[in-house]
Amino acid sequence: MISSKCDRVRFSVAHKGGSNKLKKINYLIDIALFFSETKKIILLVIVLTLLIALNSFASQENQTTVQLEPIEIREYEGERLSSLNDFNENAIKGTQKVDINEYLLEIVGLVQETKKFSYNEIINNFDHYKKVVTLDCVEGWLVKILWEEILVKDLIGKDNITPEAKIIIFHAYDGYTTSFPISYIFDNKILLAYKANEIILPQNRGFPFMLVAESKWGYKWIKWVTKIEISDDETFLGFWESRGYSNEGDLDKSYFEK
């Protein structure tokens, strides 16, 4: 029985003679049939590949990106750290919510040049530092935190301060204030923090910036800093200082003025 057109061709040719030439013709016919089937297989593979790719693309379009919550670290270089949840909330007007798109940190007062920085300008244009510092509150609690920060003196610029300047006053979004001698800020490399335990400061911890007033009582650690004022008024008293707290705020001394 003859099964196909090509088989019929091969059959009829074979019956005209058994010469080698005719066998070669049959051989060439077999090769043609092989490549015809191979092309079909290749085409099928290409179609399947395209279908799989399209299905994968459609699946990706339907997927949504889930933003994971940042994770704070609790240990740094072998040193145990407190949690950001260990703070007590004691701000004078509660947690402040600063619109970062409108935020500007001002450097004003007795300076050669008044400056204004956006949040991104500070983060992107100044050197960053990391340091573990403990905050001691007059209420009796303390927290040991890894802070990531910018040097305050880098923001101000030492050459930018006029000769008669004596103190630096920090102003907060909620109206809170506190002050320090210029020498304290510059000689001790005091820092303005934007991260704590490797996460961006939460709003209740002072976002966008909190002063890390090392060796000072917690009321000197001003949050939500919006303005740094250079002044010659050594009689200036901040929020709690004007209510009887020590203006120096040194940890090795009483926080009440006597």
What 3-state class would DSSP assign to 125?
Answer: helix
Mean local confidence (pLDDT), 35-63: 70
Highest mean pLDDT among 46-50, 64-68, 195-199: 195-199
Residue 177's pLDDT band (boundaries 50, 70, 90)? very high
Residue 42's pLDDT band (boundaries 50, 70, 90)? confident
Residues 6+ apart with CB under 8 A from 71: 198, 199
**What does the alpha-carbon distance between residue 71 and residue 255 come to, in Å, rounded to a whole number?**
34
Q: Which residue has the tokens 């072998």?
A: 78
Residue 63's pLDDT band (boundaries 50, 70, 90)? low
Token representation of residue 225 = 């800093």
Q: Is the pLDDT of residue 135 over 80?
A: yes
Pick the CATH number of 75-243 from 3.40.50.300, 3.40.50.2300, 3.90.420.10, 3.40.50.1370: 3.90.420.10
Q: Is the pLDDT of residue 206 over 70?
A: yes
Q: What is the pTM of this model?
A: 0.75
**What does the alpha-carbon distance between residue 236 and residue 169 come to, in Å, rounded to a whole number?**
8
Q: Where are the domains of the chain?
A: 5-62, 75-243
DSSP 83-101: -GGGS----TTS-----TT
In the prediction, which pLDDT does 11 show? 44
